[in-house]
Amino acid sequence: MLLTPSLPGESLSRSISGGWGEALKNNEQSIMVKRINSLIFSTGIFMVLLFFVIPAKAQQPFVSTTVDKKEILIGEQIRFTVKIIFPTNAYKVNWFSVPDSIAHFEVVERNKIDTSFNSSTTSYEQTILLTSFDSGQWNLPQFPINYQSTQGNTAQEALSEAIPITVVYSPADTTGQLRDIKPIMEVTITDYTWYYVAGGALLLLIIIYFLWRYLKKRPKKEKPLFTAQLSAYEEAVAALKKLKEYNLQEDAQVKSYHVGLGETFKRYVARKQNTRFDNATTGDLLLEMPAAGLNADEVSSLAAALRTGDAVKFAKYRPFAVESEGSLEKIAVIINRLEQKSPTQNNKS
């Protein structure tokens, strides 16, 4: 193994270079330590801001302002929305009022203030519909919202954002292209006359049908069997009085006299019972009398008078005038008796 001898100058150079390297290394370590200390200090400041300053800011009411469009045509409408968020029960908020007109803008509609709550915050929100007829760029006004902490008496104010709105005319047609005139359009007119006629006829048929059903179901008023100005009793008394004027010495009047007695009694009983006895025989009438309230003697007396009349009519029997007058008296007594049984039944109709 060969050893190379080192020169004195070379040894000195190596010694100097080793000293400078060590100094440079120490300087770099010092700079690194300073940087680390500065980073730790900055982080501490940031943490202080994070835990103290930012929460304090977060507890202040926050106002946001939005629009649905920032450029409109003249007369077009904008939805302008203002919203405030604040901690629940921490502030009293007085909402702003919107005038009817604003510089360069017109108020079209004011929506109601919408209030929403959750566990920690409360929000008020209102949307206002605006329009403008002035071309140009205009800023929406800043609306003040006053609020006051429930823990203090100092009132504060928050402003909505002044958002710029550009109002322009409709863009002009710059193509210069000529456009054809549209041809005249034919209008189809529908004649509804027959529809009206058919509807009216159908309505008339429906009315007639229901009218017919009503008249069919309506109870018919029965016509009275007898029409007379006098009651049954008054009519019978008048008829008997007239029969007394007959001349019982003439055969023809004797027969009419007894026929009249029988018809007068039949009509009286028929009117009292509101029935017909036109075809009833003497026997039929006598059978009705017990039910009418006559006793046996009265029925027997009535039978004698009526059967005398039958003999005159059918057997050409000619009784004496006294017998004929007796028949009238018997029938008059029976009529009075029947009238006493039902004095209120006058049968006027």
Q: Which amino acid is at 85?
A: I
The C-alpha atoms of residue 304 and residue 310 are separated, in whole angstroms, by: 10
Class of domain 62-168: mainly beta
* Tens-level pLDDT at each residue, the chain (349 residues): 334 444 444 443 444 445 545 554 566 666 666 667 666 765 656 555 444 444 444 468 889 999 999 999 999 999 999 999 989 888 888 898 888 878 889 999 999 999 988 878 899 999 999 999 999 999 998 999 988 888 877 888 889 999 999 999 887 767 767 777 778 888 888 888 999 999 999 999 999 999 998 888 877 666 666 676 788 888 888 888 998 888 888 888 888 898 889 888 888 888 888 887 777 888 888 888 888 888 888 888 888 888 888 888 888 888 888 888 888 999 899 889 888 877 554 444 4
User: What is the reported pLDDT for 29?
Assistant: 66
pLDDT of residue 319: 87
The pLDDT of residue 43 is 60
- Sorted by sequence, the CB contacts under 8 Å of residue 160 that are 6+ apart come out as 63, 65, 82, 140, 142, 143, 145
**71-73 and 164-168: which strand pairing?**
parallel
Amino acid 77: pLDDT: 93
Phi and psi of 214, rounded to 5°?
-65, -45
- HEC per residue, the chain: CCCCCCCHHHHHHHHHHHHHHHHHHHHHHHHHHHHHHHHHHHHHHHHHHHHHHHHHHHCCCEEEEEECCCEEECCCEEEEEEEEEEECCCEEEECCCCCCEECCEEEEEECCCEEEECCCEEEEEEEEEEECCCCEEEECCCCEEEEEECCCCCEEEEECCCCEEEEECCCCCCCCCCCCCCCCCCCCCCCCHHHHHHHHHHHHHHHHHHHHHHHHHCCCCCCCCCCCCCCHHHHHHHHHHHHCCCCCCCHHHHHHHHHHHHHHHHHHHHHHHCCCCCCCCHHHHHHHHHHHCCCHHHHHHHHHHHHHHHHHHHCCCCCCHHHHHHHHHHHHHHHHHHHHHCCCCCCCC
Q: Who contacts 162 (Cβ-Cβ below 8 Å, separation ≥6)?
A: 139, 140, 141, 142
Rounded CA gap, 303 and 194, in Å?
Answer: 78
Domain layout of the chain by residue ranges: 62-168, 232-341
Identify the pLDDT of residue 208. Answer: 94
What's the longest Cα–Cα distance across the chain?
Answer: 211
